[in-house]
Amino acid sequence: MIAHAIVFYIFSLIAIVSAIMVTVSKNTVNSVFFLILDFISISCLFIMIGAEFLGMIMLIVYVGAVAVLFLFVVMMLNVAQQKNEWFNSSGRSSHIPVGLLVSIIIFFELIIVIGGWKYKPDLLDSIAIEINTDLTNTQSLGSVIYTDYIHLFQLSGMVLLVAMIGAIVLTFRQRSGVKRQSYFKQISRDRKDGIELVDVENNKGVKIDV
C-alpha cells in the first residue's frame, strides 16, 4: 500500500510540475514536450486507479495523435517565430486578460463540480446505471455507452463529424494548374493512344500536333 502511495505521489508530482512547465517554458516546442509528459503521467494515474482502458485511450488519442499534430504545428510556427511580431514580448501582455478570464471561469467550474461531489456524497447515487464490478472496465464501458447512452454517443459522433467537415472546408482551397495523377487513366492507356505510326516521305518531315 505504501509503495502504491509513493508511486501515486511521484506520478502526480510529475504531472503537476510538467503542467506548470507547459505554461512557464519559453520555448513552445519544449512546452509541447512537457504537455506530452503531463499526458503520460496522467494516463499512468488512470491505470493506477484501475481505469486501464481510459489510460490507454488517453495515450493513444492524446499522446499518439493530438500531441503529434500539436508538435507538428508548433515546430512549423517556430521557424516563422523570429519574424513574427505577434510572439514578441511587447505583444504578449495583451493576451493576459483573455487568458485570465478563461482560467477564472474554469477554476469556478471546477470548484462547483468538485464541491458538489465532496459535500453532497449522495450525488453519486443519483446515477441510474448499475455498474457490474465483475466485468473488466472495457466491457462495462462498452455496454454502458453502446446500449444505455447510444443516442448521446451517436450525437457526439455527429458533432465530431461536423467539426471535421468544417475544418476541411475551412482549409480546402482549389488550386488551378495542378496536374493530378490518375491510375485508371494511366493503366487504361494502350498502344493505340500513345503511339502513331507515320510513313515519312523523304525530305518532307512530319507535322506533329500536340
Partner 1 sequence: MVELFIFFEQIYRILFLLIPVLVSVAMIVWLDRRVWAFVQKRRGPNVVGPFGLFQTLADALKYIFKEIIIPASSNKVIFILAPIVTMTLALIAWAVIPFSETFVLADINVGILYLFAVSSLGVYGIIMGGWASNSKYPFLGAIRSAAQMVSYEVSIGVIIINVLLCVGSLNLSDIVLAQKDLWFVIPLFPMFIIFFISALAETNRPPFDLPEAEAELVAGYQTEYSGMMYAMFWLGEYANILLMCAMGSILFLGGWLSPIDLFPFNVIPAPIWLILKILFLFILFALIKAIVPRYRYDQLMKLGWKIFLPFSLIYVVLTASFLMYFDLLPGN
Contacts of 117 (CB under 8 A, 6+ apart): 123, 124
Is position 136 an interface residue for partner 1 (rule: CB under 8 A)? yes
CA distance 10 to 14: 6
Positions in 57-76 near partner 1 (CB under 8 A):
57, 59-60, 63-65, 68-69, 71-72, 75-76
Least distance to partner 1 from the beta carbon of 116, Å? Answer: 31
Q: How far is CA 159 from CA 76, 153, 163, 169, in A?
A: 29, 10, 6, 15
| Residue among 94 and 186 whose Cβ is closer to partner 1 | 186
Report the half-sphere exposure of 35 (CA within 13 A, side-chain side): 18
Least distance to partner 1 from the beta carbon of 25, Å? Answer: 12
Among 88, 103, 138, 147, binds partner 1 (CB under 8 A): 138
Least distance to partner 1 from the beta carbon of 174, Å? Answer: 17
Stretch that binds partner 1, among 83-91, 104-112, 134-142, 145-153 (CB under 8 A): 134-142
Is position 21 an interface residue for partner 1 (rule: CB under 8 A)? no
Positions in 140-179 near partner 1 (CB under 8 A):
none
78, 28 contact by CB (below 8 A): yes
Least distance to partner 1 from the beta carbon of 64, Å? Answer: 3
Best CA proximity match to 46, nearest among 155, 141, 122: 141
DSSP H helices in 96-204: 96-119, 137-143, 150-171, 183-188, 191-194
Among 14, 25, 48, 52, binds partner 1 (CB under 8 A): 52
Best CA proximity match to 33, nearest among 68, 9, 57: 68
Q: Number of residues in contact with partner 1, rule: CB under 8 A?
A: 22
Least distance to partner 1 from the beta carbon of 9, Å? Answer: 19
Nearest-10 Cα torsion for 156, 158, 159, 164: 130
Is position 1 an interface residue for partner 1 (rule: CB under 8 A)? no
53, 85 contact by CB (below 8 A): no
| Residue among 174 and 202 whose Cβ is closer to partner 1 | 174
Burial of 25 (0-12, 13-18, 19+ CB in 10 A): middle
Binding stretches for partner 1 (CB under 8 A): 29, 33, 36, 52-53, 56-57, 59-60, 63-65, 68-69, 71-72, 75-76, 136, 138-139, 181
